[in-house]
Structure 1
């Protein structure tokens, strides 16, 4: 039993690291591109997906130099099962060392071969992965079919990010010769390529994990190799001269961690760093209005509150959940917590998502909140709620704002502000000791299925709210195989069912923005807000 709980907690911590960290906290643009006036950008223009702020021919690449990234979170290990493959959790460093088999292309909303030569399917159940010939790890061994299967085996055995989805969906994987792996799934999975475009697609050399997790060595086939690491100070990676796509233009890639989004943007503007990772809405919007170019990765439910749906909790009553939802005004919350920045609203998807549709949302309505609460109180509910969040200043402001709105509807709210994410992980995912908890789901444009399945399916061990609805489970099961208009129709139904049954409180969409200075070029991205630096250059 101990091992089971430990594994569950590790995966829960990963989920919270990529949601709570990514939820964000409630100088001059001297390094930005001033050729165009960005100060009057609309919200739609600010949060447009993809590469933004780049205009004209960037010229021929130049070799040499070190690019310094003020990253969002420190990669304390280059083992992809310990540092999760997400831009909010240090995954940019692991992507630089290992690369990814496939790459999500924001411009086309498709998955392109990267380390792989191709990934094909006729029925979305059997997928054939063909590898590039001649690719080698930095220890000289081949990145072949056996290496891919060995790496994925190690990844799943050690609970890498998205292991649950992989383990429950992959029926079999077999090598066909030295350069082909055939994956047979338990059923059709339209966005399976996304798994190979993120953490699971970071292929480790057999020697990397030969001694087990405690003796792990970061050996990959990516554009960079570990050079030096000073915990809490910097991580330096040097160029891999044998990189499959050609020796990187950069001599080195340096990661630093500066604490707040404001500090990262100030350092970028001052020129002490070359690129940064931003999520706090106020800082992100300032960076765009200051004219910085970069990559924008929007997501739905970037701000939300989970409601504990489990039996015995006040919020197991749908009337109480609906009352809470009607009592909280996303617009007022955004004004008080982030000065109106962000995309407050009840739609659970990002407006930039290819599947976004307008649905009738359950918007703020104090009269409805009072009426529903009165009904619940007639049946014996005492009106009490426990709210949990963080204890920093922005989180305190958020807690006071929510408490005031709920008490205006007739609730009695006890706020419990916790010291760290580990405590919040314990309360939400392990002990389930909360009624209302600040969080995020960060539904990505490229693969809504994976987030929805993990967070809303009644059988998912990582379902944070205990939400259980057979209709929702059925819609998500259908979504796994759906594409195009069929997927959009299902996602619309999921959104409508969310509005009706209120698993949590949708507060708005947001984004991750990765800006860079005007002398930086060639950075690309893949899924999970990961940046790729193999073609980056300065000049």
Structure 2
């Protein structure tokens, strides 16, 4: 099937229900170049920030983080915790979905419960924030959300629960739902040609501030050089992940400028703690000492410094990043029973040989970082095969199969509360292939999840960070510095959480 025919079929299936501003000559238009395409147009299957960048224009959530990373109301007017396990949300009235269905408490209840429907078999990302029990409709503008245990991450969770039109989605198969999005957002879906482009148009009846840009196009362009070329030729207006060595070129172009923000995405090398030799704490510590991350960042990325902890809030000030100390690494490996023979570490007659999975084009210089990490490990006698994968293949291994290789490079975003970052390595996190097995960590995390007192939570977060530093389940790399290329005709500012929110963007 050709791309043109596929696009036509998608448009036909969507139908003429939603109302958008009429297309016209000279319309304001924005094109966003991302490193990968979205996973699906069904928010229940969201996996990466690129998905959310699209969903946030088509759908609304009950709450949202503003650019100061504080939670503010969206479809909810207000909220309160009635008890540690019951939260009540008051909803805005008079809002319509794109297909004219009314937004109300039933829509909230449906959208949440749909995520947990066994027949849908949605992935586990949204299921790991809270232990959801049920949603209760109090009246059309009031809904209670009940959890089985205290829900300290309630707002973090709801910021990514997109509210969907119940009648519309009940009439669709899961395959149809993946192509026919209907929400209450500022933009209406027009067409999606996978791996080519996704187009949306402004919603003339949007309940909030009206969007200033008529048409938004998302284009997946995996190769960084091609993305930069598109920005400088006018084929893209906002570009994610400008390579650091291209920053001066973009700034000198007269067409675009680079905007930089220190983000909250943690780039790390996961170690499969359920596989030998990574069951041994000393080996995992050695892996951290063996790599000169700061040199890699200087030579490969051009920005950033080694991170000491995953946390982006309530950071433990006593923790220092692992220094580069290859002799310490060798001593720990020897203590763990590994012998260096002919330049290769061996134990019980077996070489220390591992595979390192890495995506390409998803994060800034991702495969280059992975290859540099592998070269440092090889210096101390570890045989490393770097397995470079296109994002769709890599994403399936991580987020569906949850079965990457012995080592894997991954970057996970932040909710800027400290706890969500610690959850990455907890058994409660659905996408956690490290299989970290530290009872002290798990008990402390459970205590954190059950605690509302701010001072106590900070103490527990500091404890979690110390445990994960001393018994590291991952190789700590860095917190990604984000470089955005922006056409000079566009007024738009980047955020720390990597969300490209366009409802306030303007074009000269």
Q: TM-score, normalized by length of structure 2?
A: 0.80
1:452 aligned to 2:422? yes
Which string of whole-angstrom CA distances, capped at 9 and with x for unpartnered residues, describes residues 266-291 of structure 1?
43344432222227555579878998
Distance 2:32 2:397 in 1: 33
Report the counterpart of residue 357 of structure 1 in structure 2.
Answer: 317
SS at match of 1:90: helix
Q: Secondary structure at the match of 2:337?
A: helix
Q: Which moved more, 1:476-485 or 1:129-138?
A: 476-485
Structure 1 pair 389–68 and aligned structure 2 pair: CA distance change class (3 A): same
The answer to which structure, 1 or 2, has the higher relative contact order (CA under 8 A, 6+ apart) is: 1
Q: Distance in 2 between matches of 1:358 and 1:445?
A: 22
Matched with 1:503 is 473
2:271 to 283, 302, 307: 307
SS of corresponding position for 2:45: coil
Alignment partners' CA distance in 1, 2:205 and 2:245: 41
Q: Distance in 1 between matches of 2:484 and 2:169?
A: 30
User: C-alpha deviations, 1:330-373, integer Å up to 9, x for none?
Assistant: 112224433x43333433345xx464635133322122111111
Unmatched 5+ stretches in structure 2: 1-25, 340-346
Going from structure 1 to structure 2, the CA distance change for 1:197 and 1:170 (only over 3 Å counts) comes to same
Evaluate the alpha carbon distance shift between residue 259 and residue 192 of structure 1 in structure 2; reply closer, same or farther with a 3 A threshold. same
Deviation of the 1:509 alpha carbon: 1.1
Structure 2 counterpart of 1:533, from 498, 502, 508 = 502
Q: Is the 8 A contact 2:55 2:162 kept in 1?
A: no
Q: Matched residue of 2:336: which SS? A: helix
Which secondary structure does the structure 2 equivalent of 1:255 belong to? strand
Verify: 1:98 aligned to 2:59, yes or no. yes
Specify which of 263, 267, 276 is matched with residue 298 of structure 1: 263
* Alpha-carbon separation, structure 1, partners of 2:223 and 2:264: 20
Find out whether 1:148 has 2:108 as its counterpart.
yes
Number of equivalent positions: 463
Cα deviation for residue 203 of structure 1 reads 3.2
Secondary structure of 1:364 counterpart: coil
1:114 aligned to 2:74? yes
1:461-472 matches, within 5 Å, as: 461-472=430-441
Pair 1:185 & 2:185 matched: no
Deviation at 1:468, TM superposition (A): 0.8
Contact 1:385 1:435 in 2 (8 A): no
In structure 1, list runs of 5 or more residues that go unmatched: 1-62
Equivalent positions of 1:82-481 (< 5 A) are 82-84=45-47, 86-87=48-49, 89-107=50-68, 109-121=69-81, 123-157=83-117, 158=120, 159=122, 162-165=125-128, 169-198=131-160, 200-216=161-177, 217-278=180-241, 292=257, 296=261, 298-302=263-267, 304-310=268-274, 313-338=276-301, 340-350=302-312, 353=313, 355=315, 357-377=317-337, 380=347, 382=350, 384-390=352-358, 397-409=368-380, 411-421=381-391, 424=394, 430=401, 432=403, 434-442=405-413, 444-453=414-423, 455-458=424-427, 460-480=429-449, 481=451
**Structure 1 residue matching 2:296: 3-state secondary structure:** helix
The answer (yes or no) to whether the contact 1:389–1:395 under 8 Å persists in 2 is no
User: What is the rounded CA distance, in whole Å, between the counterparts of 1:279 and 1:488 in structure 2?
Assistant: 35
Q: How many Å apart are 1:224 and its aligned residue?
A: 0.9
Cα RMSD of the aligned pairs, angstroms, is: 3.3
Deviation string 1:199-253 (CA, Å, 9 cap, x unpaired) is: x134344313422312223111111111233333322211111101143222222
Range with greater deviation from structure 2 (72-81 or 490-499) = 72-81
Q: 1:479/1:319 Cα in 2 relative to 1: closer, same or farther (>3 Å)?
A: same
Distance 1:269-1:143 versus aligned 2 partners, 3 A rule? same
Is the Cα–Cα contact under 8 Å of residues 190 and 201 in structure 2 kept in the other structure?
yes
Structure 1 residues 33-48: aligned runs within 5 Å: none
The answer to whether the 8 Å contact 2:259/2:494 transfers is no
Conservation of the 8 A alpha-carbon contact between 1:359 and 1:492: no
1:451 to partner: Cα distance: 4.2
Q: Distance in 1 between matches of 2:353 and 2:101?
A: 58
> For residue 520 of structure 1, what is the aligned residue in structure 2?
490
Cα distance in 2 between the residues matched to 1:240 and 1:191 = 31
What SS class does the counterpart of residue 188 from structure 1 fall into? coil
Structure 1 residues 282, 499: closer, same or farther in 2, change over 3 A?
farther
Q: Is the 8 A contact 2:261 2:494 kept in 1?
A: no
More off after superposition, 501-510 vs 425-434: 425-434
**Comparing 280-289 with 329-338, which one deviates more in the overlay?**
280-289
- State the alpha-carbon separation in 2 of the partners of residues 203 and 320 from structure 1: 47
Structure 1 residues 523 and 153: alpha-carbon distance in aligned structure 2, compared to 1, 3 A threshold: farther
